Every structure is written in C-alpha cells, then in structure tokens.
Amino acid sequence: MRLVTPGDSAPASVNKYLLPHETQVITVRRHPAVLMVPVGLVLGGLIVAGVLSNTLAGDAGAVISWIWWGWLAVLAWFVWRVAEWSVDYFVITNQRMLLTTGLLTRNVAMMPLAKVTDMSFKRSITGRMLGYGEFVLESAGQDQALSTVDYLPYPEQLYLEVCEMIFPNKNPSDD
C-alpha cells in the first residue's frame, strides 16, 4: 500500500525541489508528537502563570504583568513551532529521499536512493505508543546531509516501502 497515490502531488513548498523526471512516491509530514515538548511548556507555563498570579494577586501588579508577558512569549514560540512543523515534509521519489525543513530558512537535505547502503528504523517506547519512529540511513563511508529522520509516522509501512524501492525484487515471478 502506498502512502501517496500516483495522482497526488507534493505540497507546493516541496514540489519545487522535485526534478521534472522524478515521480513522487511517498510524502509525509512529521508526526505531531514532535510538538509534545512545546505543548507541555505552554500548558506548564499557563499553570505556573495562573498560580503565581493568584498568589501575588494584590501585591504586585507589575510582576503579574511580566509573568503573563512571559507566558505570551512561550505561546508565541509554540505557534512558531507549529508553523515550522506544518511545512516540514519527508518526500521519497523514485530516485531520492528529501527532507525539507524550516519556515524562514529553508533546508533541503537529500540522499539518492542508489547511495543508500543500509537503512534501519528505531522506535522508542513513546514512539511505539504514539505511532512514530526514526529512520537511520547510511551510505558507503560518506557523511550525507540526510542521515537520520526522526518523528516519522507509520514507520513500519514506510520502512517496507523504502526497502522495496532500494532493493527491488529481481525476480518478479517470485511474488
């Protein structure tokens, strides 16, 4: 089963990095679990700001204002992280793998499928519970721009799809 059907196209932010002769096979956004820490900080900061505001209720109005301005800064950082997550994609074409990241400064890491000599994936306990994993890619003794891709959804399915592309069945009659 393919994660992206042949009629689908990559998002516009990614499509401009595809070559005219490339065929998009898989396009996924990182798992929302990448936002766990920012969500925890926003909620924890809200609780701390609320408790401190309640504790300092009538004593220091200026201090309470600074507490809430601090929480708004954390909230703005959270919104930024969500915006960054929304434009990060892992794309696999018939010739290469691309990882596009960044909102203002766009980073595109790439590895040709022909250069991949070894690929594995890791799943932590949290990753197994929430449904994400990490790909570890290796090539023949070279440092590559794309060596690990973390927080990937459907890691088993992605792993099998990519392995089939890297190591195709030489004997189609064996299917």
* Residue among 88, 89, 85, 97 at smallest CA distance from 161: 97
Report pLDDT digits (tens) over 61-118: 788 889 999 999 999 999 999 999 998 999 999 899 999 999 899 999 998 888 888 8
Mean pLDDT value across the chain: 86
Q: What DSSP state is assigned to residue 103?
A: S
* Mean pLDDT to the nearest integer, 41-55: 93
If you classify domain 22-31+89-166 with CATH, what class do you get? mainly beta
The pLDDT-based confidence of 172 (bands split at 50, 70, 90) is low
Only one residue has tokens 């924890």, namely: 44
